[in-house]
A and B are shown apart, each in its own frame.
Chain A
């Protein structure tokens, strides 16, 4: 049994303002009777510090929406509403609630647990239109979560052989390619936004602490970051290989930005890199309309690892605002199926990124066919960044973040990944799958809305829905 991978969480509050959901206002007809202080078990209501005859303004950050104060105030003087900030943040993909739960996970590293059943829409676009399977009678995979059995979340990056070849005397002819193991199916994708040096260093250190990798442009690799070079994947243009040869000598993987030239010259480029140092090459391909064709050609041309990058909402990246853009779930499935069709799927590693916003997206992306995922924005949301989708993407960092100690920032990122790792274990435990590698492309262990809805209600709903279109 391999050594158990465990992410140790450490409660790390960040003393900065963040989004909260409810706002309680005290009306003028409050008689300062203090009933609310007695009924609220979360201590949202307190008497004034300076003047205890008066009630202080409600501390609504702690409000858990139990309605006790509202319903028991003798004068009906309290009013509650959804906070404006909460309503404005995010957009149609990055839902307001996500910010609060990511922030919370970064603070305590725990799996978000609540009472009462699911509250959201029945289904939604993309990843929201699939469910993962479970096994009623299985080996006790669940025990893995309590530590008696091991659920491995590690994945392998690199090119693999389709089959082994032997000579007549039984000697192995094939050359086995090198691969790199990382313990979670998540790598970090460095956000392009202007980050303060402490945040930059902290995220790199978190990647090192977790034993995963971070994709980083060479300009960002400053002296303090160089210490973690084994966990860094420098991203360069294929024209700059020579210029960065000193850097390539120190790393395990290097990423190349895709352009059309790479389609044909990939074997030479990979050779060239291998001559400098034995590193694996990732080709970073934007998820355009024809992404599956490009990935297929790259794979046939010997690509080791292909990183498919959708936009920040997990949508196809063709520059247009058209409504027909595919979503992550469909992009990954198309890429995966194309490679299966070409009988080359097992030979190449696919990383998917773009719109991986919650822990559930990791196993879902893998079920659709990715080997692993890359994330960027959740790392920043863990640090209090606010994201707005409308009118255009806007990312705001909290004031004072640049002064926070590197350790604190790093711990929050580690906590977030700890919570995600535990959630991945929950999903795998329920499915009875004990190796994350086996999630890849296991669509039989997923339930897709389109299929099951059609099977069950097709006859009932079809007519009306076609009419609506």
Chain B
């Protein structure tokens, strides 16, 4: 059930223009009669006060060919046939196979309005990659199902071990991925945390330490213990409900992390207890873990330090991910978090993103079945990430065997990321991803809506 405290607000874009799907062309035959400006309810055509001539059409507001059926369709209305609509070549430069332009646009609309797009011309739930989630389709029963949406529960418990530790239940089967301080800005982290508390779910600090401004959200923050152990302190472990061990990340499995010197600013360095301006390596793997027994020692260490916290283990998806999962279960983990090979990142070698480790779609089934055969499936929570882009992906991941999912890129896109992929370069994100929390909350509402 959606927490009743979540209010949906309309959060318009920070930018003057959106990326247009269509191109509206006004030819020289236009006599500036203004018919189009009067008839178009979306505001594509304008004649500014005091101007004789029509303004250049505002393409991004146009709903495209589906408008043909309307009696206000400008192309038909124009007395001189001066208007035409075509696909905008600009749209091709947005998105890619996995995150199509439609999906990005759809996600922006959801983040803005809190509801799925009303437009019918956006295929925003499936991408164009031709495999995995993009090949699976959900089967909906014909006709309207007679279920009251308020009766549908979307909550999931995270502690299934019955070990007396916190009985954490999240209201929506998805939480925010680990993005460290340094890789994203502080406002982005706070937005994520605020959204998580509104939705009664979690966000994760990543491995760059626990900024103080997140303390009001302690109950909704997962703190990460990654291989670099940056910013890991006794008090940060003790203040949270969930501690996550990051063994590997789907986008760069087996490669560890590397924060460039120029990104290691004064505040980042303080948080990470490092020297400003030096490059910081997160090695791979944990240099204290070379066996499953070592791994158990790790988990015991956290459990000792915080007697109430749940332990999540984040691993990527090699061939033997099923064995790793079962091993983690026996070592005492509450949550097995598998991060698929096509997952997001702030920076990773292209060769790793494409080629190393399997996509999450296969890993979920593999791990689910293996845990089931081991008789351990009901005692552990399986969380999937690495390519969960939309509410449909989330539902598909759960159908395949996960209990819930973690999203990262979708959150960024809701903050108007265009996935240009330059997060790592010198000056970092050209769009300064740092926005208001409400946009994120709206995305959650839209996803929630889709899920129902």
Residues of A near any B CB (own CB < 8 A): 22, 27, 29, 40-42, 64-68, 70-77, 79-82, 101, 111-123, 131-140, 142-143, 146, 358-360, 364, 423, 426-427, 429-432, 444-445, 447, 452-453, 455-457, 460-461
Contacts and interface: CB of A to CB of B under 8 A. Distances in A.
A452 B349 contact: no
B67 interface: no
Contacts of B134: 122
B15 interface: yes
Contacts of B422: 64, 66, 114-115
Contacts of B353: 114, 117-118
A67 B357 contact: no
A74 B56 CA distance: 12
Nearest to B316: A134
B27 interface: no
Place the interface of chain B in its size category.
35 or more
A70 to B, nearest CB: 7
Given A122-B342, A456-B365, 20 more contacts: A64-B420, A80-B93, A111-B349, A116-B409, A117-B344, A119-B96, A119-B97, A120-B129, A121-B131, A131-B357, A133-B356, A136-B315, A140-B285, A142-B255, A423-B349, A426-B352, A429-B255, A430-B254, A430-B255, A461-B135
Contacts of B287: 140
A118 B56 contact: no
5 contacts: A79-B90, A114-B350, A137-B292, A140-B283, A426-B352
A230 to B, nearest CB: 31
Given A67-B418, A136-B315, A447-B319, A118 B251 contact: yes
A133 B283 CA distance: 18
A136 B319 contact: no
B344 A136 contact: no
Interface of B: 13, 15-19, 56, 58-59, 89-90, 92-94, 96-99, 128-132, 134-136, 247-248, 251, 253-256, 281, 283-285, 287, 289-292, 294-295, 315-316, 318-321, 324, 341-359, 361-362, 365-366, 386-387, 409, 417-425, 427, 430-431
Given A74-B16, A429-B255, A112 B362 contact: no
A66 to B, nearest CB: 4
Contacts of B248: 134, 136
Pick the 3 closest A-B CB pairs, nearest first. A122-B131, A430-B254, A115-B423
Given A70-B90, A142-B285, A116 B356 contact: no
Contact of B90 (A68, A81, A115, A121): A81
Contacts of B341: 118, 131
A386 to B, nearest CB: 21
Contact of B423 (A73, A116, A131, A132): A116
A457 B366 CA distance: 11
Given A66-B418, A452-B362, A136 B316 contact: yes
A114 B96 CA distance: 14
Given A112-B349, A146-B281, A456-B366, A360 B93 contact: no
B97, B134, B289, B420 interface centre (most CB from chain A within 10 Å): B420
Contacts of B352: 426-427, 430
Contacts of B16: 71-74
A143 B283 CA distance: 8
A385 to B, nearest CB: 22
Contacts of A360: 351, 354-355
B362 A456 contact: yes
Contacts of A22: 93
B358 A452 contact: yes
Contact of B356 (A65, A111, A134): A134
Given A114-B350, A116-B345, A29 B56 contact: yes
A132 to B, nearest CB: 5
B109 to A, nearest CB: 15
Contacts of B129: 120-122
A137 B291 contact: yes
A461 B131 CA distance: 11
Contact of A65 (B131, B132, B346, B420): B420
B350 A101 contact: yes
B430 A68 contact: yes
Given A140-B285, A427-B351, A119 B99 contact: yes
Contacts of A74: 16
Contact of B285 (A79, A101, A120, A136): A136
A68 B387 CA distance: 26
A364 B354 CA distance: 12
Nearest to B295: A137
A81 B23 CA distance: 12
A27 B23 CA distance: 14
A118 B98 contact: yes
A431 B284 CA distance: 11
Contacts of A71: 13, 15-19
B415 to A, nearest CB: 13
Given A131-B355, A134-B318, A432 B254 contact: yes
Contacts of B255: 142, 426, 429-430
Contacts of B319: 133, 444-445, 447
B237 to A, nearest CB: 22
Contacts of A82: 89, 92-93
Contacts of B13: 71
B17 A70 contact: yes
Nearest to A39: B430
A131 B283 contact: no
A135 B350 contact: no
B22 to A, nearest CB: 13
Given A134-B316, A142-B284, A429 B254 contact: yes
A116 B253 contact: no
Given A112-B349, A134-B316, A134-B318, A430 B135 contact: no
A135 B320 CA distance: 8
B19, B134, B346, B353 interface centre (most CB from chain A within 10 Å): B353
B18, B59, B129 interface centre (most CB from chain A within 10 Å): B129
A358 B353 CA distance: 14
B354 A118 contact: yes
A135 B430 contact: no
A426 B97 contact: no
A67 B318 contact: no
B316 A72 contact: no
Nearest to A66: B430
Contact of A75 (B56, B290, B351): B56
Nearest to B254: A430
A117 B351 contact: no
A421 to B, nearest CB: 12
Contact of B349 (A41, A66, A113, A135): A113
B276 to A, nearest CB: 21
B421 A115 contact: yes
Contact of B56 (A76, A139, A453): A76
A157 to B, nearest CB: 25
Contacts of B254: 134-136, 138, 142, 429-432
Contacts of B350: 101, 111-114
